[in-house]
Structure 1
């Protein structure tokens, strides 16, 4: 388990590598701490086993700014470029849910209400099989 944090201590990340890799965030995700997210996601994607999914648990955040939402979108794109899927856990956190809803990010990010649902979600292949069944029925 690795740990990342901002120099000011405003954002902390605990990383558990595996498939899916799990990144648990606590603190403030804003313009001053977005590089912590970038480094943590990059490390999870570069970790052994090349995860097909990275789960970002944001339940411990007490602030989510617009720059934080933008970095989540960029991290999703970065993961997709490496054939991985980024999953975002709100944990029922009102701050996180509100930030994602106000920016419309809840419509484009792969958002889950709790960690168990995100960890249990299927892989990209399962999603594609389900979509094909829906279109062909």
Structure 2
């Protein structure tokens, strides 16, 4: 298990390789720590073999700023460019769920309530079906 962190120790990322790759974040995800997430996702994408999916577990994040939400979108796009699904787990964390909901990111990112749901999620077609159902409700 690899580990990444911000210089001030405000954000830690633990990486568990496998399928899907699991990146568990703990601490503050804001403008000062977004590069830690970018680096961790880049390292996961550079793995051999390249993963089909990466799961970002935000259940232990205690602050999620606007820059943090933007980086979630950016790393999702970066992974998609390489045909890798990036899934986000809130883990019942009300702070994370609220930030994603208030910014509308929960409607465009692949968000799951727990690790089990994210790990067993289907391919992109299932995500598109869920998105279409949400938009039509």
Aligned to 2:59: 59
Aligned to 1:123: 123
1:69 aligns with 2:69: yes
Please list every run of at least 4 consecutive aligned residues from structure 1 whose deviation after the TM superposition is greater than 4 angstroms: 128-131
CA RMSD of the aligned region, Å?
Answer: 1.8
Aligned 1:26-105 pairs, distance under 5 A:
26-105=26-105
Aligned to 2:21: 21
Taking the aligned partners of 1:111 and 1:85, their CA distance within structure 2 comes to 11
Give the alignment's TM-score, normalised by structure 2. Answer: 0.91
Flag the structure with larger Rg: 1
Give the alignment's TM-score, normalised by structure 1. Answer: 0.91
| Aligned-pair CA distance for 1:106 | 0.2
| Contact persistence 2:110–2:127 (CA under 8 A) | no
Taking the aligned partners of 1:89 and 1:3, their CA distance within structure 2 comes to 18
Number of positions where the alignment pairs a residue of Structure 1 with one of Structure 2: 131
Taking the aligned partners of 2:101 and 2:4, their CA distance within structure 1 comes to 27
| Aligned-pair CA distance for 1:127 | 3.1
Which structure 1 residue ranges, 5 or more long, are not aligned?
132-137
